[in-house]
A and B are shown apart, each in its own frame.
Chain A
């Protein structure tokens, strides 16, 4: 079993989430709002920034992977090249 989370914890009871991320100190955020609804401005901004980070991380990773495969396959990136990329996940 993993030690980082426990099944009996509530969804907001074990923050800060980002401190679990290796290299979290590189991130502009420290943590998620610990409790309660996102009604306070600070909690709301923290939540919005966390959502933004969750969107950014996989999108950036996906773009980097695509670029790496472009370079790996020595594929030109100019428009008009329509060779099929292996769709490993859909």
Chain B
């Protein structure tokens, strides 16, 4: 029997509150912070950190869906990308499971957990890219030179569909599906909600307006969280005690964070988020260096 002390529950509640607070301040999901904090800070195995973080996302995602009262039109794009998301989430979660169990759990001569290595190695460039982009985009917004949107909207690989939400004309269904596949794969592998990629992706890659991107991302995040929970729970990677603590702490922290952030301009908020993502990337880089150093890789 494993030991689960009250102090552990308090620790999880504190982590959930802190991450929820930061999420509330910056208006983003906390999944990208949760996994590094649970794994690096609290020492949870990477697959449990990923699975539990993915499962807890379903709570706030459900609240957002119910509160937003999505219309039928809000579900159109999420259902189009749902096919890609399903395959992506399954592939990501299965890859993580195969790397954290069985004979390939440790990489050959180095003796490093390959799951840890892969997840942290994917997180690092992802957070560096998103952090750098947020700083650049926030700076451009502050000097009133907004970044152009719809970078891949002109890739009209048939079949295409004309939707009023897209400001750059007809959008390619394969491009939408591949976008869903990529986001789903990363969400399944890394345990975050996908919102981190969805909002900039829908706006800057696909050319959705801000309000449409928010409404669509809420529904897509719920789909991702639902499928990630199934995939990770099936492999036994969800720790319900951790999920419960994160849900309670995260709700309280998020409410405080939303109140705290009132009055901060969106552009400044995105710049602050950029620094937060870069700071998290530095912590992950330090962990990777420590992992490789302890294994005698150099």
Q: In whole Å, how far is B119's beta carbon from the nearest beta carbon of chain A?
A: 13
Q: B236: which of A17, A21, A82, A88 is its contact (CB, 8 Å)? A: A17
- Which of B1-42 touch A at CB < 8 Å? 1-5, 8-9, 11, 20, 23-24, 27-30, 42
Q: B214: which of A9, A19, A90 is its contact (CB, 8 Å)? A: A90
- Which of B81-134 touch A at CB < 8 Å? 97, 100-101, 105, 113
User: A22-B244, A55-B230, A61-B59 known; A11 and B23 CB under 8 Å?
Assistant: no
Overall SS of chain A's interface: loop
Are B237 and A11 closer than 8 Å at their CB atoms?
yes
Overall SS of chain B's interface: helix
The residues of B with any CB-CB pair to A shorter than 8 Å are: 1-5, 8-9, 11, 20, 23-24, 27-30, 42-45, 47-48, 55-69, 97, 100-101, 105, 113, 193, 195, 198-199, 214, 217-218, 221, 225-226, 229-230, 232-241, 243-244, 247, 250-251, 254-255, 257-258
Q: In whole Å, how far is B214's beta carbon from the nearest beta carbon of chain A?
A: 7
**Interchain Cβ contacts under 8 Å between A and B, 20 examples:** A1-B42, A11-B45, A20-B4, A20-B239, A24-B240, A47-B234, A51-B233, A54-B233, A54-B240, A55-B226, A58-B62, A63-B63, A66-B62, A69-B67, A85-B67, A86-B258, A87-B214, A88-B27, A89-B250, A90-B221
Are A65 and B45 closer than 8 Å at their CB atoms?
no
Q: In whole Å, how far is B50's beta carbon from the nearest beta carbon of chain A?
A: 11
Residues of A within 8 A of B241 (CB): 4, 20-22
The residues of A with any CB-CB pair to B shorter than 8 Å are: 1-7, 9-12, 14-15, 17-22, 24, 32-33, 47, 50-51, 53-55, 57-59, 61-63, 65-66, 69, 82, 85-90
Residues of B within 8 A of A14 (CB): 2
Q: Given the complex of chains A and B, what is the CA–CA distance between A54 and B239 in angstroms?
A: 9
Are B2 and A62 closer than 8 Å at their CB atoms?
no
Are A54 and B55 closer than 8 Å at their CB atoms?
yes
Are A54 and B229 closer than 8 Å at their CB atoms?
yes
Q: Given the complex of chains A and B, what is the CA–CA distance between A36 and B97 in angstroms?
A: 14
